[in-house]
Structure 1
Amino acid sequence: MGIELAWLHGVYVLFVAGIILMMVLRRDTSVMSIVGIAMLGLVATGSVTTALGGIFGSFIYAITELLPTILVICIIVAMSHVLTDTGVNETMIRPMTHLIRNATLAYWVIGIVMMGISWFFWPSPAVALVGAVMLPVALRAGLPAMGVAIAMNLFGHGIALSGDFVIQGAPTLTAKAAGLPVEDVIAASVPLVAIMGLVTTAVAFWYLKKDMKLGNLPASPDLPARVSVFTAARVSLPAGIRRFLAVLVPVLFALDVAAMFVLDLRGGDATALVGGTALLILLVATMLAHKQKGLEQVTSHLISGFQFGFKVFGPVIPIAAFFYMGDSGFVNVFGEVLPSGSQGIVNDLGVALAHAIPISKEVAALAVSAVGVITGLDGSGFSGITLVGSLAQLFSAALGTGAATLTALGQIAAIWVGGGTIIPWALIPAAAICGVDPFELARRNLYPVAIGLLVTTIIVMFLL
């Protein structure tokens, strides 16, 4: 059994290395993950049929674990569709434009609004909304289109998505991979997200103001006409009802946040509350907008939301299934085949690493941060965060502390890089809305994100 266990751990490490290599080469990791699951099953049980069945079983386990997260994102995207179609989103955000009086205010107001909307509606639908409504106002205030794109990127796909405090999709993925409660990861990520966000957005603003003074970023006066198409509601809704919904939506979500604190709702309970509220808003808004056709339109919006959700999580499921094998997923899929002394593949590796190599806090923080960056190179941000969760668990087992902090660091690194701030093909939506070159946008984000990540990693070394 000792030899078999050594082989099992060796196979796991081999495929982890293979998956990282695929990410570095910017190749898809699904095939590597599926083969890895099959090999783990074959080595553990010696049965080809069990190994093949284990692939399917691991997918079921991963989907079961991720289903609440997938569902809430699907419902929120469906809700955002009906709010956008009826012009409610535009009505909600329009009052904020009155705060934009100069380029400095434009940068910070757009960023903060983008962050707030992204926490509740997800960054992808927020990009079109914020860009369409606020870009013309920002240009008139003197902020170049590139500055608007930078603000939306860093605050939305950076700060909001890396923390994901409301929907909790990202921390749920990393927490499950690390074998931790999601609330522990969220609590550990709050100071790190704040540090990363403040440093990155401040540095980006400094570079932006410098280029504006040098005349390197002229405004684009033709853009307001080009983006006006995004602000036009496609479904007619009386102004009174539109204003009512524009007030009702933020009030309901604010009550959700209050309920989370008062009733101490965490993890799945908090996600369920947000999802249920979004579904209620979807039903009310759709029925008011479409009346007799509302029943069919609700289903249509839900279908659109599910298509988006499973498109986003399709690549995540295979790799999540593999990394869940490093913890409780292995026993759930293949049964009690590990010896009684084993604490799971990743924990066993962490203990062995602690005895074989002196792992320091500095090495652990740098390694998790670097792997997070590598996993983000595919431009997804989500496809590899289960990997950083597993590695955080491994290093924390070697150190004897810091599991939640390392997990949060890896999550931040992966999503800031791959979620849409410095990978050109991941930030195309923001670049398209603002009419700027995505590669130039990625280049301008590179130094602020790198500086922010370096500072955050150093802070983690002191927190461990």
Structure 2
Amino acid sequence: MEIQLLAIHWVYLLFILLIIGVMIMKKDTTLVSILGIFIIGLLVTKSLPDSVQSVFNGLIFAIKELLSTILIISIIVAMSKVLTTSGINELMIRPVTHLIKTPSIAYWVIGIVMMIISWFFWPSPAVALIGAVLLPVAIRVGLPALGVAMAMNLFGHGISLSGDFIIQGAPAITAGAAGIPVGEVVSASVPLVIVMGLVTTVTAFYFLRRDLKKGTLHVHSSQLVELEEPKKTIELSPKIRRLKKTFSILIPILFLLDVIGMFMLDLTGGDATALVGGTAITILIVTSLLFHKKERMSKITEYLVEGFQFGFKVFGPVIPIAAFFYLGDSGILSILGEHALPEGSQGIVNDLGVALASVVPLTKEIAAITLTIVGSITGLDGSGFSGISLAGSVAHLFGSAVDVSTATLTALGQIAGIWVGGGTLIPWALIPAAAITGVDPFELARRNLVPVMIGLVVTTIFAMFLL
């Protein structure tokens, strides 16, 4: 089928290249994205007022598409704050501390616990939930703070966030840009996340253990002194202690029931997100009412406001770039009207993919390498989320051009983008884990670099066999 490319196709492609260039220069993409929407709107409507409106309509469309993702993460963060304030999180983690006997065990236990909690709470809140509790235990058995930070980073911001199987925030963004169901991206990402996770964490553990044996990495005496300092504790009534213990058992059970419910009722995408979100907001309300003596109802609002501040701070940069990439698929009809596309067009990205396949000898190997590179570039801003819609859009383009699995390409780009920018390689994205463990974020980034790069290479090769 021969596709005639029009001005909107070339302008869209030009702005994709501009956005990639801006990301490489580590600059913000908001201006370029909004300018792209405006110019495409001008080409389609041939009206200055309508093109100005298209910018606002594009942002509204993106917010509607992303709202459930923003909402679930805001609620999860709000819930995590009340659990931290009440001390329930400490009781939830305490049984795990008895497993930590050696530095090696500390690395794997902290990592696995971080991964599991991050699936339900998201990595940034999970760092606060478990870091303060498990860090002293790890240091006492000989695992330096840098090793603790690596474990939390690689398992939480790496494995958990790149798959995001429970909350499904990341796959919702990439699937929307790729024009495929969220469930397809989640399913396609499972084997890739497993390979990436195993290769990266095992490689990091090898280097960590080697340096511990050499003595180039060790626990500083100052950290041990700090652990011996007496900590002030708040006296709690027996009733409150029993209540906290009950909640520390009940909350994990509730989320486990959510997971079972997802499998038994075949819930994915928005339905799965709604189940987790409803559980989280229930826990937030009940916990706030029971553990705050004064201003209980206002505390609920306070926690929610903190959660929404976090959610929109994270997703603020995502909305403009997502609005631009939604133009590449069916979103253009909602933003610019039913007659925005020329007759016979299957969407801007689809048209570009078909045209690209007719002039360039593309292969699945080139497609996989391209998605890993594009995904990595999107992570250079340190957000992990702001550019992954680009990965979805490019995956859609190559899926059409090469006739391979768009879902696998989308998952590969998502994994690369989040591993690079979500909190394992970019120093300013490492601040949560670095702050809670007291290590230098630049040193942490250097330690993570080689394992993550090896993981990306192996995962890209593995993805070629799945396409």
TM norm structure 1 = 0.97
Per-residue CA deviations over 1:397-428 (Å, capped at 9, x if unaligned) read 00112100000000000000000101111101
Q: Distance in 2 between matches of 1:292 and 1:135?
A: 32
Selected match of 1:380 from 378, 383, 403: 383
Pick from 285, 288, 300: which aligns with 1:286? 288
What is the count of residue pairs matched by the alignment?
A: 462
| Local SS of the residue matching 1:421 | coil
Distance in structure 1 (CA, Å) of the matches to 2:305 and 2:436: 25
Pick which of 241-250 and 120-129 moved more.
120-129
What RMSD over aligned residues (CA atoms) do the two structures have, in Å? Answer: 1.8
Per-residue CA deviations over 1:421-462 (Å, capped at 9, x if unaligned) read 011111012112212211111011000000000000001111
Q: Is the 8 A contact 2:114 2:152 kept in 1?
A: yes
The amino acid across from 1:249 in the alignment is: I
Counterpart residue number, 2:256? 254
Aligned partner of 2:364 in structure 1 is: 361
Q: Contact 1:236–1:289 (CA<8 Å) still a contact in 2?
A: no
Equivalent positions of 1:290-439 (< 5 A) are 290-335=292-337, 336-439=339-442
The amino acid that maps onto 1:372 is G
Letter in 2 for 1:459: F
Q: What's the offset of the Cα at 1:225?
A: 6.7
Whole-Å separation in 2 of the counterparts to 1:224 and 1:299 = 40
Cα pair distance change 1:111/1:420, threshold 3 Å? same
Percent of aligned positions with the same letter in both sequences?
62
2:21 corresponding residue in structure 1: 21
Q: Residue 134 of structure 2 corresponds to which residue in structure 1?
A: 134
What's 2:245 paired with? Answer: 243
| Change over 3 Å in CA distance of 1:225–1:419 after alignment to 2 | farther
Partner of 1:457: 460
Q: Within the alignment, does 1:175 sit opposite 2:178 as a pair?
A: no
Give matches, 1:61-210, under 5 Å: 61-210=61-210
Find the aligned partners of 2:190 and 2:142 in 1 and give their Cα distance: 33
**Corresponding residue SS for 2:98:** helix
The separation in 1 between residues aligned to 2:52 and 2:4, in whole angstroms, is 19
Query: 1:223–1:434: 8 Å Cα contact kept in structure 2?
Result: no
2:5–2:352 contact (8 Å) kept in structure 1: no
Q: Could you tell me which residue of structure 1 aligns to residue 49 of structure 2? A: 49
**Gaps (5+ residues) in structure 1?**
none
Query: Contact 2:140 / 2:224 at 8 angstroms: preserved in 1?
Result: no
> What amino acid is the match of 2:207?
Y
Give the drift of 1:146: 1.1
Distance 1:97 1:51, change over 3 A: same
**Quick one: which amino acid aligns to residue 272 of structure 1?**
A
In structure 2, distance between residues paired with 1:424 and 1:126? 19
Structure 2 counterpart of 1:420, one-letter code = G
Question: Residues 227 and 22 of structure 1: is their aligned pair in 2 closer, same or farther, counting only changes over 3 Å?
Answer: farther
CA–CA separation in structure 2 for the residues paired with 1:427 and 1:104:
22
For each residue in 1:224-273, what CA deviation from the matched residue of structure 2 results, as whole angstroms up to 9, or x when unmatched? 675899x9888967110100110111000000000000000010000000
Deviates further, 66-75 or 215-224: 215-224
Q: 1:327 Cα shift?
A: 0.5
CA distance, structure 2, for counterparts of residue 126 and residue 227 of structure 1 = 22
Aligned residue type for 2:134: M
* Superposed displacement of residue 145, structure 1: 1.2
How many angstroms does 1:392 deviate by?
0.2
Counterpart amino acid of 1:310?
F
User: Matches of 1:355 and 1:292 in 2, distance apart?
Assistant: 69
Q: What CA distance in whole angstroms lies between the structure 2 residues aligned with 1:282 and 1:63?
A: 25
State the AA in 2 paired with 1:165: F
